Amino acid sequence: MPTTKKPAAPAEKAKPAKVTAAAKKAPPKAAAPKAAAPKTAAPKAAPKAAAPKAAPAAPAAGPTEGAPAPAFSMPASGGRTVSSAALKGKPFLLYFYPKADTPGCTKQACGVQEALPQLGKLGLEIIGVSPDPLPPIEKFAAKYKLTFPLASDADQKVAAAYGTWVEKSMYGKTYMGMERSSFLVDGQGKVVKVWRKVKPEEHAAQVMEAAKTLL
């Protein structure tokens, strides 16, 4: 008789393995917040030292009353040359002005021209001096019919000798320029009167009054 095979018993389903506590993954730990670095106060800027005040300008050098007048020789308007040597034995006025054909200098020069007849009677020679070259000086003399010599001190040597080439200031800037000053010199070549920072409108009258003392 044929043998009949017994049907195989069904395989048992595998039971899922139990997950142990150790096997459970712990939740990731949150990273501890980094301690903020303490802020260091920025060093305070040292207070700026106050700029030192400019020292007052030294008084202008040059001859004082009673001192000998420095020698000079300069080209002048009208093709002339003026010099202390040629004026020896004669009283004269040497007046320094900043620039030809400017308002103050024009007023001063015209005042001297008007007073020239009276000054001539006192035997006084008049010489105007500026740092301008001769061409603008010639135009200035011709424009206002100025007959007395206007000399060109283009290298400022005579101005330096008389202490009239000085430091000036305008709008906060300093520069070198001619100080409006006058020197009355007697026949012996001695300075008898000095005017510093002359007022153009008063100059001729001041010179005329002082020149009377030379008679």
Element (H, E) at 115: helix 103-121
Q: Are strands 80-83 and 73-76 parallel, antiparallel or unpaired?
A: antiparallel
Q: Catalytic residue among 69, 74, 87, 105, which? A: 105
* Alpha-carbon span 94 to 76, nearest angstrom: 13
Catalytic annotation present for 110: no
Q: Answer yes or no: are the C-beta atoms of 164 and 179 closer than 8 Å.
A: yes
Strand residue runs (E) in 103-213: 125-130, 150-152, 165-170, 173-178, 181-185, 191-195
Catalytic residues: 105
